[in-house]
Structure 1
Amino acid sequence: MHPILFEIFGFEVPSYGVALVTAFIIATILLRREGARLDLDPEQLTDAAVSGLLFGLIGAKLLLIIVELDDFIQNPAKLLDTIRSAGVIYGGQIGGALGVIWYLNRHKLPIVKTLDVMAPHLALGIGLGRVACLLAGCCYGVHYDGPFALHFPEVAHCPAPAGVGLFPIQIVSLINGVVLYGILIWLLRRRKFDGQIVAAFVFLYGLTRAIIENYRGDGVRGVWFDGMISTSQLIALGGMAAAIGWTLWKFKGLSRKNTSG
């Protein structure tokens, strides 16, 4: 890990923030290209992505406070730590979606069609963003001594336990994001109805996140039902159910249309 990228004039530049910004830039560049292919204005897509990023940062921190509310009530000073923390990814997704929808509605742009184009790039951005977690030592995996186990050194402000083997969950999440991007782009170019790619993203990300969550070793996610399920898994299951319902409803409508035609 390498939490501090470099120091200039006494100011430390964290690798976490640089990695997140880099992930956003890469995803946005690809989004602009794909949007242009589908006759969407690249500049407006960029503005929508920035709106999503800003709202997403707020949403991620709010969900972090919610799932760790008791701890924050007992230690109000920890609220200052949320400035450095990225928060809970699902909160970022929900907040980001609201930010994008707000922007698209304000500018009278096609909401569902645009969200379909943005969904693959959100998956990619989330995946690439896990490099930041790897560099900072956060969102670490369970104890693991098998192949590719990660060993974090003793470093200040590193939440990962030092000197023990940990499951390479950040790397798995990175690969997952890249694979989901490829699948969703493939589906985007073959979609049957607006909203199909958003539904596919919600389902596939929810499915993989629910599985990956079992290999997370950190506890900053909130747990329910005596520790059987985390907040992210609970949201994932709800999102998967909604995605399945939406997709079945849309395909049923297409079937009726084709039959009547």
Structure 2
Amino acid sequence: MSPAAELLSILTFPAIDPIAFSVGPLAIHWYGLAYVCGIMLGWAVARSLVRNEKLWPGNTSPCTVAHLDDFLVWVAIGIVLGGRLGYIFFYDLSSVIADPIRAIEVWNGGMSFHGGFTGATLAMILFARRHGISIWSLFDVVASVAPLGIFFGRVANFVNGELWGRPSDVPWAMVFPTGGPFPRHPSQLYEALLEGLLMFVLLQIVGRAGGFRQPGMVTGCFVSLYALARITVEFFREPDPQLGYLAGGWLTMGMVLSLPMLAVGLWALWRARRAAR
């Protein structure tokens, strides 16, 4: 690496306090604010989609705005519980068995997207059955706005200086406080752009171009695109230290968990197209 590039890598990582602000003894972390911002902004966009009845089969929205208001609590619980349990079982089970108190130490990080995805899916199924809502259409509503939450979550990972990438000599590589002396890929920002902003734009285009009229189409696009984006970023992201690389030094747990997602996403696309025909 040239001296100029090395200097740039040192200067570009902002030293931001992970605590956004404190109210007495209560510390509000950027990570928690990211979850709140993602869920609330997604909820606002979802409300606008439901109000636009022309987007849906038969020009009838699958649920009401009041339904979405009630569902907000369900999906928040599903994301948090699923994300935490997923991280424990997929990435940190041995440590939690050795020290069970780690299971509730969410302030030390440890949320799995794949676990949060599973928890949110279960919450959607239960809510849809309870209120007589089309499950696939509810999936589509949530899938179309979920990238907003992913975006804020990955930005929070960057602010916390966690989940950094592999060592690199690219000009935008950064030396993270907990990543050793070597410049690394800011893989959190790669994920924020690919899994967050880009996916949100693409899913909005697909949905508003007729995708919502084929229940499951937007969901299939979301699951497939996320799996592909995650597998791609895993080539730049440092694997979790307690697991390392799998299968000869190139496969990661993120890739392993994304492969079934890709299969499910492609199946959902096939099913949506078949149902439409």
Same fold (TM over 0.5): yes
Sort the Cα spacing of 1:127 and 1:238 in 2 relative to 1 into closer, same or farther, 3 A: same
Alignment correspondent of 2:207: 188
Alignment correspondent of 2:233: 212
1:48–1:104 Cα contact (<8 Å) kept:
no
Alignment correspondent of 2:219: 198
Alignment correspondent of 1:63: 86
1:3–1:135 Cα contact (<8 Å) kept:
yes
1:206–1:240 Cα contact (<8 Å) kept:
yes
- Aligned-partner Cα distance in 2 for 1:22–1:254: 35
1:104 partnered with 2:128: yes
1:36–1:42 Cα contact (<8 Å) kept:
yes
1:139 partnered with 2:139: no
Aligned with 1:12: secondary structure? strand
Equivalent of residue 232 in structure 1, options 254, 258, 262: 254
- Aligned-partner Cα distance in 2 for 1:84–1:76: 14
Sort the Cα spacing of 1:75 and 1:34 in 2 relative to 1 into closer, same or farther, 3 A: same
**After the TM superposition, which residues 151-170 of structure 1 pair with which residues of structure 2 at under 5 Å, given as runs?**
151-153=175-177, 160-161=178-179, 163-170=181-188
TM-score, length of structure 2 as denominator length? 0.81
- TM-superposition CA deviations, 1:45-76 (whole Å, max 9, x none): 23223311211211111111112222322343
**After the TM superposition, which residues 25-174 of structure 1 pair with which residues of structure 2 at under 5 Å, given as runs?**
25-38=40-53, 39=61, 40-67=63-90, 68-82=92-106, 84-153=108-177, 160-161=178-179, 163-174=181-192
1:16–1:132 Cα contact (<8 Å) kept:
yes
- TM-superposition CA deviations, 1:195-226 (whole Å, max 9, x none): 01111111001100111122112416856435
- Aligned-partner Cα distance in 2 for 1:221–1:186: 40
Sort the Cα spacing of 1:150 and 1:44 in 2 relative to 1 into closer, same or farther, 3 A: farther
Sort the Cα spacing of 1:133 and 1:62 in 2 relative to 1 into closer, same or farther, 3 A: same
Aligned with 2:43: secondary structure? helix
- TM-superposition CA deviations, 1:168-214 (whole Å, max 9, x none): 11111111111101111111122252101111111001100111122
2:34–2:149 Cα contact (<8 Å) kept:
no
1:221–1:230 Cα contact (<8 Å) kept:
no
1:18 partnered with 2:36: no
Alignment correspondent of 2:57: none
Q: Give the unaligned 5+ runs of structure 2.
A: 1-15, 54-60
- Aligned-partner Cα distance in 2 for 1:37–1:122: 19
- Aligned-partner Cα distance in 2 for 1:206–1:249: 18
- Aligned-partner Cα distance in 1 for 2:101–2:254: 25
Aligned with 2:105: secondary structure? helix
Sort the Cα spacing of 1:77 and 1:36 in 2 relative to 1 into closer, same or farther, 3 A: same
Alignment correspondent of 2:11: none
**In angstroms, what is the RMSD of aligned CA positions?**
2.3
Aligned with 1:215: secondary structure? coil
TM-score, length of structure 1 as denominator length? 0.85
- Supply the AA of the counterpart residue of 2:66: E
- TM-superposition CA deviations, 1:60-100 (whole Å, max 9, x none): 11111112222322343433424643511110011111112
Q: Give the unaligned 5+ runs of structure 1.
A: 154-159, 256-261
Equivalent of residue 179 in structure 1, options 187, 191, 198: 198
- Aligned-partner Cα distance in 2 for 1:210–1:221: 19
